[in-house]
Structure 1
Amino acid sequence: MAEERGEVLIITGMSGAGRTTVGNALEDHGWYVVDNLPPAMLRPLLELAGRIDGQLPRVAAIVDVRGGDRLSELPATAQQLRDANNLRIVFLDASDEVLVRRYEQVRRPHPLQGDGTLLDGIREERRQLAAIREEADVTIDTSTLNIHQLASRTADLFEDDDAPRHRMTILSFGFKYGLPADADLVGDMRFLPNPFWNDDLRHLTGEDEAVSNYVLAQPGAAEFLDAYVEALRPVIEGYQRENKTHSTVAIGCTGGKHRSVAMSLALGALLQTIPGLQVRVRHRDLGRE
């Protein structure tokens, strides 16, 4: 049953310790995440996931004090589900001082403070969560972590070993149609001779071998390609450290038909060799003229 159901995480812990950040990070890496799930709904959720032919191989449920009195059922429910599922409990914690500071920054009351103080609510929550904390498979103290560091820690713990840490789109485009609005970085291929002025190449595109060979053989083309790959390496590593999971590198020429297409394909092929990086190449304006 565990192999059929895949992985299951129960995310719980102190309010303000980063449950939402962990849930968002898991979603970014392909998990199906349900927030604020009452413990009684865990079994129906996992049964539903098991009926849809493996389409939800990794399920995470965030369970916390917002569930009210039913939270006390969580340790027993989790224990019952462990035998039939590859289930782990993740408990997020932080010091009282840090939790108070985080609540004061967002100017929101603690869900359990009632007529008391923030610290009263935090202490009551610790009491209610004491039993489930003892059952946790993974405990993460977020006292010294910012949201980016916590997201990276989540990816390190729960990401598939062969899953990409960053997904990059190489997007060819034509400057005459405007810059791509979602580009993180832009490269300009207009320093290369335009195949448009070659009668034998004009009707072809950068996807054709003749055009690709022509573009990449021009003075400066190979130097640009090698240098740009090396310039992107520390950027990609930084994106991975900061848990930036997606980026777009736009490569432009005049019309988005020849030079930018050929260079985007060559760049994508070289970047595929970088560990932890998944690359796809798209052509925004190809066929637009």
Structure 2
Amino acid sequence: MASQTPHRTPLRRISQGSLLRLSRSGAYPDAPHGLGFLEPAMSEFTDETEILQTHVEGLKHLSDTLTSFNESFASWLYVMNMNALTVDWPQAPHDGSFMLAEKRAEQNAIAAMEAIQAQAVAKSIQPSLTVDETLNETGDPEATFTANSANSSAPAKAITKKVVKGKKPKLTAKEKKERAMELERIITFLPLEFRGSDPTLRRNMEAVIEGIWDTESQTVKLPDLIKADLNQARANKCLIALVNRKIVTKDSSTGTVLYHWQGVA
């Protein structure tokens, strides 16, 4: 019986770049003997390591430079943002705004002076003729009665007229102009929202003031001022503003809240 050949693992081939093969190869007769071949390899490895270290240091320097730039640029952006929030005011007043404010102040002063002059003229009007003077001049009692009736029916102020119940007073063009000037003067004493920032609220205020003026005793109750275009809430708000400025006084001593016109001193 034939004997079996024991199994043997074949020898591994040496790699083509192995140091042992390089040292024993006949293709490199000038190769150093023993470990001498390591010297040039280690010298080249040292040079490459120094180059790698130089490159890594360059990358670190670039990283530090970028970090410094990022911090400086971020600080600049933050300063610009704060400057925009604290310095740049798109709605800030300019030269035209101050000129317009001066013009409005002059117009208000002129309107106030005209209103004061109109009041002074109205107060300085004296009855044209007394009973005796009329009798002496005309000798006609009927004419005297007519003159006295005309004097007694004249309004106390140019801006108001006493009216018959249920009828609105008819004003002349001059009285309408004087009333408009007086309204403008009174509204200048009221808060800003009544002076034009809310046109609807200003119209409501004018309607409330004229409603008080048009009453016989210039005393009204809140329901008397309510109209189709003036609800109770708006009328009450206007009355509160007038009471706060002491242009109108509020009286509830009779059990009913009454508003009496006082005017602007």
Q: Does the pair score TM above 0.5? A: no
TM, length-normalised to structure 1:
0.20
More helix by share: 2
TM, length-normalised to structure 2:
0.21
Tell which has more relative contact order, 1 or 2 (C-alpha 8 A, sep 6+): 1
